[in-house]
Amino acid sequence: MGYSTRLYSVEFDTLNDAIGSCDQVLLKRLQEVNKQVDEPLAEVELHGDVTLRITKEGQILFNDQPMSLDELSQAILALESGSLEVVMEAPWTKTHEAVTLANNETIPKSGLERVITRFESDDPQFAQNLDQTPQITWTRNEADDDETDDDTSYQPAFDISEEILSDLVSGNLNQSGAEHGYALEIMCYTLGKLLPDDDLIGDLEPLELDTPLQQSRIPVPLKEYNDFPVISFLTAEEVAAEFQRLSRLNLEFPSDEDIEEAREAFFECIKTAAGQKLGVMAFYH
């Protein structure tokens, strides 16, 4: 439902050497990262123990009981275990957005073990563009209760054809496009390091940090495309300069706690890359 920016610290010489290298060992590593985890629907709980519904009129229903946003946050925090099913009725309203933000804040602090999201619509035109199958969007694991800044257990989900990955390794990029952008992210994940941000960084523009990473640019010979992922980068020298610039800024953002947390998370990512003397790749999708 929301957009996110993933940041990777990388060594650009290593990255550029890999593209067009025809390295079959590297290709195999990329394919392993790209493997989907097959989870048959039959093994997934299709309904939660508790249901949160946001109606198309913007009403909040918690187990069919009307609630205010503040009451909802307290109700979620009071849940000690189990699963929550979130049903979003189209069209999207400001209430849907507010509930989503509240959920992001309260769900990890509750005892919930799983969150399932479902989109619904009575309008056939909306329904054509909605995935009405329940999706597991949040599960608790050991890292949720004992997170560290050096947590490497999280792996983004990738789903790129082997042909696209092969294009990147062979250097066959004459017809490259958005899928090759995702393949490049797999390569950055494999050859670099995903910088942890606790899933706080979305669109960089609202952070009002004026970082060069807001501008689309690609450091490798992919053709330009008008689609996700939007790619940007900083060289190691630019990372060092960006770290010094951000160090002098006041990261407080009194009008929005979420933006303030995202600003701090972004700074920590840049600080980490600067400490490693590496460049940064950004993928917005």
**Section 17-36 average pLDDT:** 90
For the chain, the domains span: 5-37+157-284, 50-139
Q: Using one digit for the tens of pLDDT, what is the confidence trace for 88-123? A: 888 888 898 899 888 888 888 888 888 888 888 776
DSSP structure string for 191-217: HSEEPP-TT----SGGG----GGGS--
- What mean pLDDT is reported for the chain? 86
For residue 159, what pLDDT is reported? 84
| pLDDT confidence tier of residue 126, bands split at 50, 70 and 90 | low
d(CA 231, CA 263): 19
Q: What angle do CA 202, 206, 208 make, to 5 degrees?
A: 120
User: Is residue 216 within 8 Å of residue 231, measured between CB atoms?
Assistant: yes
Query: Residue 16 above 90 pLDDT?
Result: yes
Residue from 215, 157, 181, 182 nearest 37 by CA: 157
Q: Using one digit for the tens of pLDDT, what is the confidence trace for 242-270? A: 999 999 999 999 999 999 999 999 999 99
Residue from 215, 207, 268, 221 nearest 243 by CA: 268
